[in-house]
Structure 1
Amino acid sequence: MTKAQEIAADLRERIESGSLTPGDPLPSESQMMKEYGYSRETVRAGVRALVDEGLVVTGQGQGKYVREDYPPVVWNWSTLESRSRHANAVEGKTAGDQWASVVTAEGKTPRQEISVSIVQPPAHVGEALNIAEGGLVVLRQRVRFIDNRPYALADSYFPQELVAGTLLMDPRDVAAPGGVLASVGLVQVKYRDEIAVRMPTRKEAERLALPAATPVAEHTRTGYDSDGKPLRCMVTILPGDRHKILYEVDTN
Structure 2
Amino acid sequence: MAKYEEIAGDIRNGILSGKYNPNEQLPLEKEMCEHYGVSRITIKKAVDELVFQGLVIKRRGSGTFVKALDDNDVQELSLARQFEGFSETHKERKVTSEIIQFEVVHPTEEIATKLKITCDDFVYYVVRARFADDEPYVIDYTYMPIGLVPGMKKDVLLKSIYGYIENDLGFKIKSAHRLIRAILPSELEQKWLEIDSNFPILEVEQVGFLDNGQPFEYSKAHHRSDRIEFRTVSIK
TM over 0.5: yes
Quote how far apart the aligned CAs of 1:175 are.
Answer: 4.1
Candidates 126, 138, 142, aligned match of 2:128: 142
Q: Matches of 2:227 and 2:87 in 1, distance apart? A: 16
Alpha-carbon displacement from aligned partner over 1:5-54 (angstroms, at most 9, x marks no partner)? xxxxxxxxxxxxxxxxxxxxxxxxxxxxxxxxxxxxxxxxxxxxxxxxxx
- Contact 1:163–1:169, Cα closer than 8 Å, also in 2: no
Instruction: Name stretches of at least 5 consecutive residues in structure 2 with no aligned partner.
Output: 1-74
RMSD: 2.9
Larger Rg: 1
- Contact 2:81–2:175, Cα closer than 8 Å, also in 1: no
**What residue number does 2:232 align with?**
247
Whichever residue aligns with residue 103 of structure 1, its letter is H
Q: Matches of 2:214 and 2:88 in 1, distance apart? A: 28
Distance 1:238 1:123, change over 3 A: farther
Q: Matches of 1:101 and 1:224 in 2, distance apart? A: 18
Quote how far apart the aligned CAs of 1:203 are.
Answer: 1.9
Q: Secondary structure at the match of 1:139?
A: strand
Q: Matches of 1:238 and 1:223 in 2, distance apart? A: 18
Q: Matches of 1:82 and 1:117 in 2, distance apart? A: 31
Q: Matches of 2:86 and 2:130 in 1, distance apart? A: 9
Aligned residues: 159
- Contact 1:78–1:246, Cα closer than 8 Å, also in 2: no
- Contact 1:214–1:241, Cα closer than 8 Å, also in 2: no
Quote how far apart the aligned CAs of 1:144 are.
Answer: 0.6
Q: Secondary structure at the match of 2:172?
A: coil
**What residue number does 2:10 align with?**
none
**What residue number does 1:125 align with?**
111
Candidates 88, 91, 97, aligned match of 1:101: 88
Instruction: Name stretches of at least 5 consecutive residues in structure 1 with no aligned partner.
Output: 1-75, 87-97
Quote how far apart the aligned CAs of 1:219 are.
Answer: 0.5
Alpha-carbon displacement from aligned partner over 1:218-250 (angstroms, at most 9, x marks no partner)? 10221223342211123211122222222234x
Q: Matches of 1:233 and 1:160 in 2, distance apart? A: 13
Report matched runs for 1:152-167 at 5 Å: 152-165=138-151
**What residue number does 2:159 align with?**
174
What TM-score do the two structures reach when normalised by structure 2?
A: 0.56
Quote how far apart the aligned CAs of 1:137 are.
Answer: 0.5
- Contact 2:185–2:197, Cα closer than 8 Å, also in 1: no
Alpha-carbon displacement from aligned partner over 1:107-148 (angstroms, at most 9, x marks no partner)? x43211135321234554333112323542112332111221
Q: Matches of 1:118 and 1:138 in 2, distance apart? A: 5
Distance 1:199 1:77, change over 3 A: farther
For the pair 1:192 / 2:177, whether they are aligned, the reply is: yes
Q: Matches of 1:141 and 1:118 in 2, distance apart? A: 12
- Contact 2:108–2:119, Cα closer than 8 Å, also in 1: no
Whichever residue aligns with residue 164 of structure 2, its letter is V
Q: Secondary structure at the match of 2:230?
A: strand
Distance 1:218 1:122, change over 3 A: farther
